[in-house]
Amino acid sequence: MSLPLVLMLSLFSTMMTLGGAARDRPPAIFVFGDSHVDSGNNNYLLASLSKADHFPNGIDFKASGGMPTGRFTNGRTIADIIGEEIGQLNYAPPFLDQYTTGAALLNGVNYASGAGGILNKTGALYVSRLGMDLQIDYFNSTRQQLDEFLGKIKAGELVQKAIFSITIGANDFLNNYLTFISDFEAPDAYINRLMIALKDQLTRLYHLDARKIVMGSIVPIGCIPYQTSLAPLDETGCAALPNQLAIKYNGKLRDLLTELNQIFPGSNFLYANLYDLLMDVITNHQSYGFETASDACCGNGGVHGGIIACGPASSLCGDRSKYVYWDPYHPTEAANLIVAKKLVHGDAKDISPINIQQLI
């Protein structure tokens, strides 16, 4: 009995992928992090209070025809754009999607989750979310599936050539340390605790064959509309304390990545300087073509529309390309595009010790 045509084509495509065509494929991208790069995992967490599965989120996301996908922005995330820049034809699918299996794993997988953090306690106010420990558990599951699908040798080669993009840490301050759920702790002690946890997590990834890790710093969390709508502002127009914590954390993160590069053979831990990249856009927003770097395009309440999260009843700006911030917490696609391209092609002040293009 002959196979249906669709199945034959699918089998042929898979054979080509596993054969000579695989040599021409761009590297897979495995994405970890929080709502800045979540591509829809939180859609599948029924108890989560952190979701972007509603209009007008995704209004400019061409791949979905302007429908919401679970991305916390009007269009593409930084991780989406990086994938495009290195030649990916498809975005890394969310791990929790039931169809993320088999050949769908070969381009990479997205494990990021809105409200997720380095510490397991982070984001508890939003109930269900995937913290970094759980995201790595899920990658371990993917790793086993790849072994079964490709064989251990080919799976190991795919993973070692892959880009591991990690954007996490902001919630450990915004939705933990700076909230009432946090136990009192001196900033240095708390940041050191984050570094200990993160070192263990990055070590786990290395032992699962991750070799090319792009670790994002914390963005200027004191400049998001949520903070500027509530807190006293400094001369930069941002809330001072959150940014001070972010700068202190970022310094420790850079030191940690330098240490890991020294102790793990064959590793490439890159420091993606998201703080300075986004702060440059905020400070010089007019030269980048933006009209405002303080107001949320989609939101309500407070001076900058940063109190109420983006939803169907929110006020919506007319031209999203003129706003740095999409909602009270997240940049627009236009801002993401600037940052992502500098991570791929930029110099040492943007990403070090090399950029993503050089990494691959």
| Total count of residues recorded for the chain | 360
* 213: in domain: yes
Asked whether 108 and 162 are in contact (CB, 8 A), the reply is yes
Q: Residue 158: give its domain's CATH number.
A: 3.40.50
Q: Which CA distances in Å does 208 have to 139, 159, 173?
A: 9, 8, 28
Q: Which CA distances in Å does 179 have to 89, 174, 323?
A: 40, 7, 28
Whether the ω angle into residue 26 lies within 30 degrees of 0, i.e. cis, is: no
Residue type, 160: Q
* 239: in domain: yes
pLDDT digits over 327-350, tens only?
999 999 999 999 999 999 999 999
Residue type, 221: I
> Alpha-carbon dihedral of residues 261, 129, 135, 328, nearest 10 degrees?
-40
> Alpha-carbon dihedral of residues 312, 316, 321, 322, nearest 10 degrees?
-150
State how far the Cα of 158 lies from the Cα of 29, in Å rounded to an integer: 10
Choose among 254, 256, 288: nearest CA to 273. Answer: 254
What does the H/E/C string look like for 47-81? CECCCCCCCCCCCCCHHHCCCCCCCCCCCCCHHHH
Task: State yes or no: pLDDT of 37 exceeds 70.
Answer: yes
* 252: in domain: yes
Widest distance between CA atoms in the chain: 75
pLDDT digits over 83-138, tens only?
999 999 999 999 999 999 999 999 999 999 999 999 999 999 999 999 999 999 99
* 51: in domain: yes
pLDDT of 36 reads 98
Residue 83 belongs to domain spanning: 26-279+337-359
* 1: in domain: no
pLDDT of 31 reads 98
Task: State yes or no: pLDDT of 21 exceeds 50.
Answer: no
Burial of 247 (0-12, 13-18, 19+ CB in 10 A): middle
Residue-averaged pLDDT of the chain: 93
* 355: in domain: yes
Q: Which CA distances in Å does 59 have to 74, 86, 219, 324?
A: 5, 24, 24, 16
* 232: in domain: yes
Active site members: 35, 327, 330
> How many independent structural domains does the chain possess?
1
Share of the chain above pLDDT 70, in %: 93
Which residue bears the tokens 């919401």?
Answer: 68
Task: State yes or no: pLDDT of 20 exceeds 90.
Answer: no
